[in-house]
Amino acid sequence: MNRPARWALLAPTLLCWCTAFAQHAAPTEPELLKRDQVAEQLRLETLRFNAAAQAVEDEVRYPGLTRTAVYLGVELDDLLVSEASVQIDERPVVTVKIDEAQALALQRSEGLKRLLLANLDPGPHRVQLRMTGQYASAKEGAEPVVMEHAVEFEKLPKTTSVVFRARWTKPGGQAQRSAFIRTSGSRRGLDAQVLREQP
């Protein structure tokens, strides 16, 4: 086959290949923006769906009459929690590891992290929390900070939350009204509060 004949046969193939390549060329800026927006919208919808599915699962596995949640909050400016261990009555200890990003978020937002969700029958119960962490201002090699607190409460047939908070406390475990005004004898520690769902 002579050269012109070969080129005549190859030309349509090359033309198709070049056209296909051009169609798959890098997208333009508006196309990229639109793709990012669609991807973000899908991500948010997935998060909403997962949250709704988790709420349904919690409702089925932990009915309101027996549901008991244990939370941890941090109100000390420089405390970074690395681990929290919870024990309810004589049940096995549940240990929750908290990574640095979660510890920073917990400390900065003064929010709450759910450590445990359990079913408890109505009646008296005891919840104990042991928290381990470190102050951001601590020197390298300093001993970890360990705080422990236990609370006894009467479980009623309604959703109950036990909230432990690391904060400035007065002697006797009572919380200070303000972290900025500390009375003599105040110290860093854990206190607990039992919250019940209102009818």
List the chain pLDDT tens, one digit each, 199 residues: 555 555 555 556 655 555 555 555 566 788 888 888 999 998 899 989 888 888 888 888 888 889 999 999 998 888 899 999 999 999 999 999 999 999 998 888 878 999 999 999 999 999 999 999 998 888 888 899 999 999 999 999 999 999 999 987 755 544 444 333 334 445 778 878 888 876 5
Q: How far apart are CA 152 and CA 73, in angstroms?
A: 19
Note whether 165 and 90 are same-domain residues: yes
pTM exceeds 0.75 for this model: no
Boundary of a domain, candidates 45, 61, 77 = 61
Note whether 37 and 93 are same-domain residues: no
Instruction: Return the C-alpha torsion angle 80, 129, 160, 51, nearest 10.
Output: 40
Q: How far apart are CA 98 and CA 102, in angstroms?
A: 6
Number of folded domains in the chain?
2
Residue 137: domain span: 67-196
